[in-house]
Structure 1
Amino acid sequence: MAGGFVDAGNLKRAHLYEYKITGYFIFACIVAALGGSLFGYDLGVSGGVTSMDDFLVEFFPDVYRRKHAHLRETDYCKYDDQVLTLFTSSLYFAALVSTFGASYVTRSRGRRASILVGAVSFFTGALVNAFAKNITMLIIGRCFLGAGIGFSNQAVPLYLSEMAPAKVRGAVNQLFQLTTCLGILVANFINYGTEKIHPWGWRLSLGLATVPATIMFVGGIFLPETPNSLVEQGKLEEARRVLEKVRGTTRVDAEFADLVDASNEARAIKHPFRNLLARKNRPQFIIGALAIPAFQQLTGMNSILFYAPVLFQSLGFSNDASLFSSVITNAALVVGALISMALVDKFGRRAFFLEAGTEMFFVMIAVTITLALKFGEGKPIPKGIGIFLVIAICLFVLAYGRSWGPLGWLVPSELFPLEMRSAGQSVVVCVNMIFTALIAQCFLISLCHLKYGIFLLFGGLIFIMSAFIFFFLPETKQVPIEEVYLLWQNHWFWKRIVGPGPSSASQV
């Protein structure tokens, strides 16, 4: 039996799918999407905390002295400290390890179970960080936070894609990105306020991460499991009840039959990770599991998110101004996510990737040229140039927020068949976290030594990524999730690589 091929005749039932947008469906998706707020809160809070003097005095006194010494060195280099960057990156190293455990839990116990485990782990990490007395406690707390992110990022995109009807799957899945953006924005507002609370404001910033974790756990207790996962676990009667309740109709025979067919094929796969490497699955593995999550980080966006306050301070802004500027840029991220939610199912994934990629490329070039001409060692930049840089970064963030940010999670969650969905998502999260951690660890040192050249490097990578999307990514808008696999098999490029796919599972 095929790994991942759904009978082509059965897939013609997709036009028979019926649904209504019910309150039950909305509740389930909003609660599950709160997993993104864990990721977003940490992205937003860590950069602000590492720029706070009270935090630096207690844990990184050398960085604090360099920050205020007005040394005759490039201002970027004042924050070049590998232990300081380890405070940020350790979370992502922990996340990439935990995601493989999350894959087992997600497949065997369900998406809901992984969401609950993620909330508990994140809550624990937030408490440890809030009461940290030394760097070791900080890193241990970050590892618990990372495990929480590994579980939630594994389960939430799958949960949202499986619960959503095909025609609105793009918008529903992007609730994850929206809550991530809102988490970042809230964290920046909190940092803006706690920076004025001496000497323990940074502890409040880190400790308030317990709030979204608590909300996610309490809400998760009442979450239904996805029908796909229930069928996969053999709970057919419960799966049908949930499907009827989520879709708001009892006429779910066609969709339920497709889920059962996909599950029957999934049971034949004993080693889903090994099956990912099979020739017939190379398109999804190369594009979805490797390229897209890596490219999402290589845009340079998370470098800006991690270190926005630090970056703005190094460009001559005061501490208050740098935090305020990062609030503005992250508000642009929220706006971008809302634009994408509203329009991605109408215009498609490729259109947003390509349009926004072009904009991001030109913004990076403009930032590079501006810094090369106007930024000097130990000299603050003119006010007008500073405003221009904030506007440019806002435009970059807005473009990312409607393209690589949400689509970097949406597209991979769509393209794997049921039997490989958890395994594939684990690889997606792992690759994402590897590149996130490497960029978090290396960005400040790269900024120090490459200076404005780091932005030119990101611009070049964005150009390459846009070309990659243009040639190799098929459009998946409004396609039922169990049909996406066959869509990839019929893409002109991948047919040449793996050959034409079978018309049914029995032909493998």
Structure 2
Amino acid sequence: MEKITFNHKYIIGISFISALGGYLFGFDFAVISGALPFLRTQFMLDAWWEGFLTGSLALGCIVGCLIAGNIADRYGRKPGLMIAAIIFALSSIGIAFASSLTLFVVMRFMAGIGVGMASMLCPMYIAEISPAKVRGRNVAINQLTVVIGILITNLVNYFLADTGPDAWRWMFGLGVVPSLIFLIGVLWLPESPRWLVKAGRPEKANEVLLKIGSESFASSTFSDIEKSLVGVKKQSYKAVFEKSVRPAVIVGIILAVFQQLCGINVVFNYTSTIFESVGANLDRQLFETVAIGAVNLLFTLLAMWQVDKLGRKPLMLIGSLGLSIVYIILAFLLQNQFPASLVSAFVLLAISMYAISLAPVTWVLISEIFPNKIRGAASSVAIISLWGAYFILVFTFPVLAKKLGTFGPFYLYAAICFLGFLFIKKRVKETKGQTLEELEESFVRH
């Protein structure tokens, strides 16, 4: 029998191009942190509007996931990625020229549609074109581009901060550049072979599989895909909640919600609020966003190295328990007005815990655990849940911080992280090194 080999350069190339959607996700996610001090003055924001303006991205993400699920199943993964890139570009320009708070929120909601589409389609696409033994690493490339997007955006925000009260317009407007690069890159991508088989285009699917690996890889993968699609009808959201697939769907939804309610995105989005509460000036607040971006990148690289070696479950357990402990210490430091340098050390420790575990591994698991026949719709449901949880988190933080003090919410996040640790220990199975079709057997109730 012919030895199975892979075209690693090609696989990495198409994974990175697809993952540029993650860069744009990182951009839209991070840009608000540097812009908020300016937006508070520009639009006279109170705690309620600050939370809603920040969270409006998540509301758009929910719509984006719904659109992406439908487009991904009807027209393919590639058209969905192209539409996401166009939406990113248009919304960046729209926000930069926003003349009122209403227009700003509408444009940020539109940006969220692009983020939602990319957050669902990029990991799904990479999982479907990657061989099993490198799938975890390749899906984690998407998280790597997210954190590179966060770091570069934070650096740009830091250097733009001295350009005057309209600095925020440049911060948002520059997003048009990576959007256009992503759009050009997507034109070069092949369609997902799993979608092509499902769409009745076996010759084209085989052609793509032969570019990814040897003939024996192409034939065995093609056979596995065909078997997993036997008797599959058109996907519907109703099918996602059928008894046979419910265990996988429940795990996916809870992991998605936990990734947000663990609280770390408060640190990303409200860095300035947290450090202002311990007396840091604007320059120090923006510098902290850069430090957060750098630590986030470093530990995401560490996660990519370990996700296919150590495995998904151990990383998730380390991260959830570690965050719970760090949050309790961080809350105590904020409550007792410790120096900004000490608060910074524990903020960065929390970021490192998240970046090596919940951040990349949740996306890997969501892209893996759902059966082929419902992957598009089930991923959509899980990621809609994720963005719903993100909205709740970032909308409630300014209100909770005003009522309880900036430290108060972190005690709550510590409790959520401990509950997440218990859930992962009991319900999440290891998925490393198995094909998507093998995983279907272990997660689905027959």
- TM bin (shorter chain): over 0.9
State the TM-score, normalized to the length of structure 2.
0.96
Unaligned runs of 5+ in 2: none
Unaligned runs of 5+ in 1: 1-14, 64-79, 376-380, 490-497, 502-508
Deviation at residue 195 of structure 1 after TM alignment: 0.7
Kindly report the root-mean-square deviation, in angstroms, between the aligned alpha carbons of the 2 structures.
1.6
Distance 1:159 1:349, change over 3 A: same
1:316 match: secondary structure? coil
* Structure 2 residue aligned with 1:58: 42
* Structure 2 residue aligned with 1:279: 243
* Structure 2 residue aligned with 1:495: none
Deviation at residue 170 of structure 1 after TM alignment: 0.6
1:278 match: secondary structure? coil
Query: Which of 328, 334, 339 is matched with 1:371 structurally?
Result: 334
Q: Distance in 2 between matches of 1:301 and 1:397?
A: 7
Q: Distance in 1 between matches of 2:106 and 2:12?
A: 36
2:309 match: secondary structure? helix
Q: Deviations over 1:207-256 (max 9, x none)?
A: 01112211111100111111111111111101001001012556521111
* Structure 1 residue aligned with 2:392: 438
Aligned amino acid, residue 138 of structure 2: V
Aligned amino acid, residue 293 of structure 1: A
Deviation at residue 487 of structure 1 after TM alignment: 1.5
- Answering whether residue 369 of structure 2 is matched by residue 415 of structure 1, we say yes
* Structure 2 residue aligned with 1:175: 141
Preserved contact between residue 329 and residue 390 of structure 1 (Cα < 8 Å): no
Distance 1:434 1:17, change over 3 A: farther
- Answering whether residue 419 of structure 2 is matched by residue 464 of structure 1, we say yes
Aligned amino acid, residue 153 of structure 2: A
Correspondences of 1:41-440 after superposition (within 5 Å): 41-52=27-38, 55-60=39-44, 63=45, 80-249=46-215, 251-266=217-232, 269-288=233-252, 290-372=253-335, 374-375=336-337, 381=338, 385-440=339-394
Q: Aligned residue pairs: how many?
A: 445
Q: Distance in 1 between matches of 2:235 and 2:13?
A: 34
Q: Deviations over 1:431-486 (max 9, x none)?
A: 01101111111111111212222111100110000010000111101110111121
Preserved contact between residue 31 and residue 171 of structure 2 (Cα < 8 Å): yes
Percentage identity across paired residues of the two chains: 29
Distance 1:17 1:337, change over 3 A: farther
Deviation at residue 98 of structure 1 after TM alignment: 2.6
Q: Give every structure 1 segment of 4 or more consecutive aligned residues whose post-TM-superposition deviation is greater than 6 Å.
A: none
Q: Distance in 2 between matches of 1:260 and 1:473?
A: 27
Q: Distance in 2 between matches of 1:417 and 1:271?
A: 11
Distance 1:343 1:143, change over 3 A: same
Preserved contact between residue 125 and residue 140 of structure 1 (Cα < 8 Å): no
Q: Distance in 1 between matches of 2:231 and 2:32?
A: 44
Q: Distance in 1 between matches of 2:3 and 2:348?
A: 41
Q: Distance in 2 between matches of 1:142 and 1:16?
A: 52
2:98 match: secondary structure? coil
Over alpha carbons, which structure has the higher Rg? 1
Deviation at residue 271 of structure 1 after TM alignment: 4.3
State the TM-score, normalized to the length of structure 1.
0.85
Deviation at residue 16 of structure 1 after TM alignment: 8.7
Q: Distance in 2 between matches of 1:456 and 1:199?
A: 35
* Structure 2 residue aligned with 1:25: 11
